[in-house]
Amino acid sequence: MHIMEGFLPASHALGWTLVSAPFVVAGAVSLRRIVRDRPEARLTLAAAGAFTFILSALKLPSVTGSCSHPTGTGLGAIAFGPSVMAVIGTIVLLFQGLLLAHGGLTTLGANVFSMGIAGPWVGWAVWKAATAARLPATVAVFLGAALADLATYVVTSFELALAFPDPASGFVGAFVKFAGIFAVTQLPLAIAEGFLVVVVMAALVGRGAGGVVRPIEGVR
């Protein structure tokens, strides 16, 4: 998913940075509130960040200028809300761009929007809807985590298609091509990530983190 350094046109790179910036600022406010009101949540927040960093660093070759990998953002989005993941995602992507040459600085805004904003919000909304529908907690967590992953790649396909429309079929044709290539690796990765997040959530609650990770108290 990480679009590599210098791959996007300058206007697109700047545009996605401007779009992402308000979400990151709002996320910082939300993160500060959580740390202030629930200081015991700091370790779990750190664990959510580490989880995102590790999973999103496991990259596979995919669309030219990008890659395919788990995202890990569903865990933090379900546990603390999607706003926080804009900040965590920015930190993760910044470190990966600087230390692992995975992503980049000019494409940071686009990568943050797809992985740190769109994915977590979709995952959280799906988890909330599944919970409201009284689905089992494990099913709700699985759906939220898996669809957070898939949403990230749908948005990345949108970003790439917007920047590089197909000469014959335009934006729509390019989007279908990018999304189709991503789907080969991302569908099984999203399913695997969904199951992994269920296991991690259950482990956190089992270790007494239920008071910290409040949304998953029903996971067993």
Express each pLDDT in 5-34 by its tens digit: 999 999 999 999 999 999 999 999 999 999
| pLDDT at 1 > cutoff 90 | no
Instruction: Of 47, 97, 106, 38, give the one whose Cα is nearest residue 67.
Output: 97
- What digits encode the pLDDT tens for the residues 117-130? 999 999 999 999 99
Q: Could you give the CA distance from residue 4 to residue 180 in angstroms, rounded to a whole number?
A: 19
| Distance from chain centroid for Cα 145 | 9
- Asked which of 55-64, 75-84, 132-141 is least confident by mean pLDDT, the reply is 55-64
Provide the greatest CA pair distance for the chain.
57
pLDDT of residue 130: 97
What percent of the chain is modeled with pLDDT above 90? 77
Query: Based on the number of CB atoms within 10 Å of its own CB, is 166 exposed (0-12), middle (13-18) or buried (19 or more)?
Result: middle
pTM of the model: 0.89
- The count of C-alpha atoms lying within 13 angstroms of the C-alpha of 10, restricted to the half-sphere facing its C-beta, is 0
Name the helix (H) or strand (E) containing 47: helix 42-56
User: Would you list the DSSP string of 142-209?
Assistant: HHHHHHHHHHHHHHHHHHHHHHS-BTTTHHHHHHHHHHHHHHHHHHHHHHHHHHHHHHHHHHHHHTTG
Which CATH class for the 10-204 domain?
mainly alpha
- The count of C-alpha atoms lying within 13 angstroms of the C-alpha of 15, restricted to the half-sphere facing its C-beta, is 8
SS3 sequence of 26-46:
HHHHHHHHHHHHCHHHHHHHH
Residue holding tokens 């995975």?
102
Contacts of 209 (CB under 8 A, 6+ apart): 44
List, in sequence order, every residue forming a beta bridge with 68; answer none if it has no partner: 60
